[in-house]
Amino acid sequence: MMIRVLLLATIATGVLLPGPSLAMDTTELKTRLQSNLQRGLERRMVDGALLDINLVDGSVEKYFPIEAHAMIVQLGDTYVMCSDLRRPDGSESTVDYYLAPQGKRFVIMRTEIDNRDPLKKLIRSGAAKVLK
């Protein structure tokens, strides 16, 4: 009887308390997201810049990545990697890359530049959560 209680306690502790395996999974996920995003961005870059159309005046704007993706948000099976970009004039913009799973990899499905409010609303509503 005592062995059964100890065994159940050990199993419950392993299931209920996050351990190195959970941290490893999160770390592995973050690494996969980073590498998939990097590959996707490299394919989209022109002369080291990400290009975007200004839908107000039709001009093509250049953005340069300036930092690693400090914040990752989970939205169901979709992940959002948040970062900053720099324009040629030195001004900075926020960017959110929405990544969807495709088999064992992730693909960029949406990019939002200077439009983080919708993501903040999703986080506040509980529909999305920041990964630690």
Greater confidence (68 vs 110) lies with 110
**Does residue 106 register a pLDDT over 50?**
yes
Question: Can you give the pLDDT at residue 68?
Answer: 67
**Does residue 111 register a pLDDT over 50?**
yes
Burial pattern 52-87, b for ≥16 Cβ within 10 A else e, equals: beeeeeeeebbbebeeebeebbebeeebbbbbbbbe
Greater confidence (42 vs 15) lies with 42
**Does residue 24 register a pLDDT over 80?**
no
The model carries a pTM of 0.75
Question: Can you give the pLDDT at residue 132?
Answer: 84
Which single residue is written with the structure tokens 């209920």?
16
CATH number corresponding to 21-130: 3.10.450
